[in-house]
Amino acid sequence: MRNQKGSCLGALNTGWLLVVLLIGLTLSSRGQAQSSSAYGVYSLFPQGSSRFMAMGGASVGVGGDVFAIASNPAGLSSSDERFLVGGTQNRVVNREAELIDQIDLSRPYEYMLFAGVYNFKKFSLGLAYTAPYAQNLELDFQSTETLIEAYQMALSFKVTDKFFIGLLGEMSQAKLAYKDTGASIDLKEEVQQFNWIAGLFLQGKKISIGLSYRPSLHYDFDESENGALGFDFFRDMKRPAQLNLGFSYRPKEKLLLAFDIDFVEKLDDTVLIGSSLYSGEIPIVEESRVVYHGGLEYQLLKKSSTEVLCRVGAYQEPTRLYGGRSRFHYTLGLEVRLGPAILSVSFDQAESFDNTAQGFSISVGNL
């Protein structure tokens, strides 16, 4: 009994130390200097897993899913399955510049995530490829390409049967390309950066709590290429640090409730990506943001090898643009499990916004 009590106290002490470390990193990142007029390559709406998107973006306190690798890697070890693999693709139409009466030339862009996780006895190993932003824009003789992609590896450790810690490392690459066939201009730049995500996950019988932290990211582009264009297309890219706190509650076997709070740091002197091609730059508000997400998952049908789940959720997205207004999003989704195979679809709707996700995954108990 004494050894068991000592191990539990040790796990809690480890957890609190990690919490203090994550909060300290968040506060210290706010004091770092930022360069001006960079593209703000981030969003305040959820992307990635079809399951989590359908639940209003609430994911950090859920776990047990291969796509936890994107939100809280600590949740990977909470799954009872030995091997999980899956993929999801989002098609996003975000015309937020219309909310400030600007001509928005945004085109649909794609988000892709493919991941696999193997659960050992005491830890889990996950590998993933993600492309959180992929867009091609064509205007008369001009065309541009913007791409961000990353290769990720995650480790999740089972400290006790209820407490998990996780760390993800990623090597990401950002690409900007501009072509003008009329002026015989063909320019391209690629920048690589390393980044990480750390997380904690505490799983109870009915209530689970998750915490994850992602530091800020800065892609440093060579802006001298803009001399041949006559305008500033090639710019640095920045993504803010983010601290996420999530809760989930299962009042009955068929029902799961989830709630997330996202704390997004302030970025200075950033503009809407691609806004140099508009009538003028569209600056992003220099304020930190807090976003609340909530949703539920309900089991409609369960038989020996078949399960049908429905999901609904909502969240309020703060505006990123001066003079804009926040948007209320409602989300919904459906998932069908046939043996080890899982197929899902989800939708996220708001004013001047549409996001559709399709996902597939396979879970195997013993391999």
Q: pLDDT, tens digit, for every residue of 187-212?
A: 999 999 999 999 999 999 999 999 99
Please state, as a whole number, how many other Cβ atoms lie within 10 Å of the Cβ of residue 152: 22
Token match 């892609």: residue?
Answer: 219
Q: 358: left (phi > 0), else alpha (psi -120 to 50), else beta?
A: beta
Low-confidence ranges of the chain (pLDDT < 70): 1-36, 102-107, 274-279, 365-367
**Is residue 222 within 8 Å of 82, Cβ to Cβ?**
no
In the prediction, which pLDDT does 335 show? 95
Please state the domain extents for the chain.
2-364
In the prediction, which pLDDT does 19 show? 45
In the prediction, which pLDDT does 7 show? 46
- Residue 199: which of 30, 83, 63 has the closest Cα? 63
In the prediction, which pLDDT does 232 show? 85
In the prediction, which pLDDT does 48 show? 75
Domain 2-364: CATH architecture, name and number where available: Beta Barrel (2.40)
Q: Please, is 280 exposed, middle or buried when counting C-beta atoms within 10 Å of its C-beta (0-12, 13-18, 19+)?
A: exposed
In the prediction, which pLDDT does 45 show? 92
- Residue 308: which of 348, 335, 339 has the closest Cα? 335
Name the H helices within the chain.
Answer: 2-29, 50-54
In the prediction, which pLDDT does 278 show? 56
